[in-house]
């Protein structure tokens, strides 16, 4: 069974570096679609790990702890990419003068 093990320290460090660089790129070019693609990729990885844990056979039960750690790390990356998407989207809407449909996170951005 193929396992994309993101709980490995080197893989985790590389994914974190790639995430930070993509967030910085999105902030510099002021395109929230980069953050949306990043969020979509992490959601796909999360779904892949959940399906793997749901279809885990008896002979592969030793992978349960690794998959559980991967799912927790996936949630952290989804959280980071979601808030970075919202942040870059807020920057983009202020730059181009777009009106947001819902400004319910204005209290959050004032504190950041």
The answer to whether residue 102 scores a pLDDT higher than 90 is no
Report the chain's mean pLDDT, rounded to a whole number.
87
Give the mean model confidence (pLDDT) for residues 9-15: 93
pTM over 0.85: no
Q: Measured between alpha carbons, how far is 3 from 65 in angstroms, rounded to an integer?
A: 12
The answer to whether residue 81 scores a pLDDT higher than 90 is yes
What are phi and psi for residue 81, nearest 5 degrees? Answer: -70, -30
Please state the domain extents for the chain.
9-111
- With a pLDDT cut of 90, the percent of the chain lying above it is 55
């Amino acid at each position: 069974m193929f396992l994309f093990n993101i709980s490995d320290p080197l893989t985790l460090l590389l994914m974190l570096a790639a995430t930070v660089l993509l967030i910085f790129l999105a902030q510099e070019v002021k395109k929230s679609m980069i953050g949306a693609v990043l969020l979509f990729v992490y959601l796909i990885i999360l779904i892949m790990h959940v399906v793997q844990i749901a279809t885990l056979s008896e002979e592969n039960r030793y992978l349960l702890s690794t998959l559980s750690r991967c799912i927790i790390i996936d949630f952290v990356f989804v959280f980071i990419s979601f808030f970075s998407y919202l942040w870059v989207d807020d920057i983009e809407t202020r730059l181009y003068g777009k009106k947001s449909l819902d400004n319910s996170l204005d209290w959050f951005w004032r504190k950041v």
